[in-house]
Amino acid sequence: DAGVIQSPRHEVTEMGQEVTLRCKPISGHNSLFWYRQTMMRGLELLIYFNNNVPIDDSGMPEDRFSAKMPNASFSTLKIQPSEPRDSAVYFCASSLNFADGSNYGYTFGSGTRLTVV
Amino acid sequence: KNEVEQSPQNLTAQEGEFITINCSYSVGISALHWLQQHPGGGIVSLFMLSSGKKKHGRLIATINIQEKHSSLHITASHPRDSAVYICAVRLKKETSGSRLTFGEGTQLTVNP
């Protein structure tokens, strides 16, 4: 398996533009997570999906952020409009979650480094 | 107060030294992960623990559930071990999914 695949690896955009980050989880994994990493706040969860359904989006900063998972093999994180304070590394991760709460194969993507100027 | 605390925040060692990084947490957990992040790089999961001890090469991870504490040990450290090591826990209160709560990380530098 190629692992969790994120694109693009780097994105530089101007303030006010729309940004879309993409993630392909590991085939067979049923949980998908979007995390953000900044120097000030470290790693923090934005949103996660279980079986394509958003479970907890309390970490999404504000209405400018939205995430979708139209099918088991693809998710997007969209920022519209983008602001300089959104500059960060955005990680996608996936895992296989069982009904008893156990978890297997937690894997992170390589991240997207976003710079908003 | 963070639910997950790591120490030390920064650690510098000489090649060959034995290294220990500690992680304490204040809540019930179902699992604990040790992650490694190289500069400019992605995040790699080193271990997932729910009890006892795991070993992989020169890396050893232990967890004491009663004391809410875990340690990551590196034997015969090498400059390529230089990275940020992050402790992350899956909270027991999570009823679905497996979101992680992270420590602030330990920056390890191993000098030749």
Q: pLDDT digits over B30-59, tens only? A: 889 999 998 877 899 899 998 999 999 999
Dihedral sign (CA B92, B93, B97, B100): negative
HSE (CB half, 13 Å, CA atoms) of B6? Answer: 27
The nearest CA of chain B is from the CA of A67 a distance in Å of: 16
Q: What is the pLDDT of residue B96?
A: 47
Residue B93: pLDDT over 70: no
| Greatest mean pLDDT range, A47-61, A99-113, B13-27, B40-54 | B13-27
Cβ-based contacts of B96 with chain A (< 8 Å): 50, 55, 97
Contact B100 A42 (CB under 8 A): no
In this structure, the number of other CB atoms found within 10 A of the CB of residue A99 comes to: 6
Q: What is the pLDDT of residue B52?
A: 93
Residue B78: pLDDT over 90: yes
Q: pLDDT digits over A34-43, tens only? A: 999 998 888 9
The chain B residue lying nearest A33, using CA atoms, is: B99
Dihedral-angle region of residue A41 (phi above 0 means left; psi in -120 to 50 means alpha; beta otherwise): alpha
